[in-house]
Structure 1
Amino acid sequence: MTPRRSRTAPASTLCATVLLSILPGCETPPPARGFVAHHEKPAEADRDEADLVERGRLVELVTADLNAYLDVPHRITVVARSCGGEGSGYDPATSRIELCYDDLTEDRRRFEEADRRPADEPLSDVVRETLHHEAGHALVDALDLPVRDQGRAEEDAADRFAQLMLLRAPEGDRTLLTAARAYDLAAAADPTPDPDDEHAADPARAESHRCAAYGAAPARHPDLATPARAHCAHTWAATRDTWTADLTPLLRKGATAR
């Protein structure tokens, strides 16, 4: 085999070579646009949650789903990290979504106390719902939608974006209903809402997700049929149509909501 002339090759050529991509300084630069997944080294206390997120490639799956649907003209970094109690969120100053491992610890504890079994599956659903919610904030920011910086209105819009994205996928209704249950468990653990929290109260967020799941497919969820949910098909259609219209400048060709 003729040896490669690696000594004289430019650094960019070396870094593009698969066999040499492990060399220091040869990391592939992140894309300049779209949602980009990233993981930071977790604190030791968050190792189990970090393993779950990394093993399931949850951040990568969500960013791939978002990028298949939307063409965002700038980079939005989606980072899984230890946050020291700060809470998952979106920072418009840096176009950065943070998924906090320490948030997941509380959700795991609640599911395992309620169900008496390992909670990896429901926790994975919570991660997907959380990331789509925060992506909703990122898109409100990117599109400068009227609810931007409007507190509860923006939080409700972000919840509805999570509903839109999750209900596009097979079994997405299961993910949405698991997230609703997580809100129910949180409300049971702490029934007094934080007056400074701009989100709707946890029971209201849970019911919004159940209403969307039922409204999108009533025949699939006869167990959710109640007189109080008679409006849910109309509410879901409004959610789908409003967000799809708002996203029109970013929608990839052929992208549709369910």
Structure 2
Amino acid sequence: MNARKWGESHMFVRSYLLVGLCVFGLGSTALAARDLDDQEQEEAVLFLVGNTEFFLYHEFGHALISELDIPVLGREEDTVDNLAAVVMIPDEPDPISEDKMMAAIDNWFLTDAMATSDDESLPFWDEHGLDQQRGYQLACLYYGSDPEALTDLADSLDLPPERRESCQDDYAQALQSWSKVLEPHILADGQRFSHSIKVIYEPPPDELKDAADLLKITGSLESIAKDVATSFKLPHNLTLVARACGEPNAYWDPEKREVVMCYELTEFFVDLITQDILSR
């Protein structure tokens, strides 16, 4: 079983995503100033879901490394970025999966542009790559998965020919490496899983209630928790918690064995894409 097959159950049907539109306007201060039309709202919800999935697969990558004693050569943050990418990249044409993948890429460039406009200093010391670097690497992996179909993506980023060729190698290496280390831990067809992942939504403060409602209605947490729990021979029960953290963040806590999705991160995604749409 390869890493891409693991992520099959995370796909959302179009009608399910559109349920989120009923409450979308609640979570964003930018939307209070100007309504989005139906198409723009759909784009915003896909952006939220795509980035929620990317961040959670990233954090569950940390969880799998910790829980399954998976060796890591190189920076762990880069390694789990690669895992999130190969899981989310669709095996075959699928408009919603493709839109969510592009949303995950766009997030890094939009975040970088926002930081640049705010004159923030670049965190060269951080364990994560710089936002723009992560965006280019994610786009590179996506392009490398299907160069013929994704030429426009490479063109839009002005990737030179030699980089395009290496993107194919990067993708093949990421897929092969993760597939190999995960293989011993994959549940066989029909094999019952002995440990579960419980999803908990902690009560949000009033100022984050709308973001919390939006996160819950997308069903992203339940979908990914089920995906991971039914795919791997987990040695312990895990928890996926949505809570207020005081900052936009998502993280794996190895002591508590929990992945945390912060309501502030949901609000950040909503505001980021709304501001981008309204600025066009």
TM-score (norm 2): 0.46
Residue number in structure 2 paired with 1:145: 70
Q: Measure, in 2, the Cα distance between the counterparts of 1:234 and 1:195.
A: 27
Residue number in structure 2 paired with 1:222: 151
Higher relative contact order (CA 8 A, sep 6+): 2
> Offset at 1:65?
4.3
Residue number in structure 1 paired with 2:131: 202
> Offset at 1:64?
5.3
Residue number in structure 1 paired with 2:169: 234
> Offset at 1:63?
11
Unaligned runs of 5+ in 1: 1-61, 67-104
The one of 58, 71, 81 aligned to 1:159: 81
Counterpart of 2:56, as a letter, is L
> Offset at 1:232?
1.0
Relative distance call for 1:190 and 1:209 in structure 2 (3 A) is: same
Structure with bigger helix share is 2
Q: Measure, in 1, the Cα distance between the counterparts of 2:48 and 2:164.
A: 27
Q: Is the 2:46–2:100 contact (alpha carbons within 8 Å) kept by the matching residues of 1?
A: no
Secondary structure of 1:181's match? helix
Q: Measure, in 1, the Cα distance between the counterparts of 2:170 and 2:130.
A: 19
Counterpart of 2:174, as a letter, is T
> Offset at 1:160?
0.5
Residue number in structure 1 paired with 2:224: none
Q: Is the 1:136–1:161 contact (alpha carbons within 8 Å) kept by the matching residues of 2?
A: yes
Q: Is the 2:46–2:103 contact (alpha carbons within 8 Å) kept by the matching residues of 1?
A: no
Alpha-carbon displacement from aligned partner over 1:23-48 (angstroms, at most 9, x marks no partner): xxxxxxxxxxxxxxxxxxxxxxxxxx
Residue number in structure 1 paired with 2:179: 244
Q: Measure, in 2, the Cα distance between the counterparts of 1:197 and 1:134.
A: 17
Relative distance call for 1:173 and 1:140 in structure 2 (3 A) is: farther
Q: Measure, in 2, the Cα distance between the counterparts of 1:194 and 1:248.
A: 36
Residue number in structure 2 paired with 1:97: none
Q: Is the 1:163–1:212 contact (alpha carbons within 8 Å) kept by the matching residues of 2?
A: yes
Counterpart of 1:185, as a letter, is L
> Offset at 1:168?
4.5
Unaligned runs of 5+ in 2: 1-6, 12-26, 190-230, 232-280
* Backbone CA RMSD of aligned residues: 3.4
> Offset at 1:136?
0.8
Q: Measure, in 2, the Cα distance between the counterparts of 1:168 and 1:251.
A: 20
State, as a whole percentage, how many aligned pairs show the same letter: 27
Relative distance call for 1:243 and 1:142 in structure 2 (3 A) is: same
Q: Measure, in 2, the Cα distance between the counterparts of 1:199 and 1:173.
A: 25
> Offset at 1:230?
1.9
Counterparts of 1:77-156 in structure 2, within 5 Å, are: 117-118=40-41, 119-147=44-72, 153-156=75-78
Counterpart of 2:149, as a letter, is R
Counterpart of 2:177, as a letter, is T
Q: Is the 1:173–1:213 contact (alpha carbons within 8 Å) kept by the matching residues of 2?
A: no
Q: Measure, in 1, the Cα distance between the counterparts of 2:173 and 2:89.
A: 14
Which has the greater radius of gyration?
Answer: 1
Alpha-carbon displacement from aligned partner over 1:84-142 (angstroms, at most 9, x marks no partner): xxxxxxxxxxxxxxxxxxxxx79x969x99x9944222111111111111111111112
| Aligned residue-pair number | 150
Residue number in structure 2 paired with 1:185: 110
Alpha-carbon displacement from aligned partner over 1:18-76 (angstroms, at most 9, x marks no partner): xxxxxxxxxxxxxxxxxxxxxxxxxxxxxxxxxxxxxxxxxxxx89549xxxxxxxxxx
Relative distance call for 1:186 and 1:142 in structure 2 (3 A) is: same
> Offset at 1:222?
1.5
TM-score (norm 1): 0.50
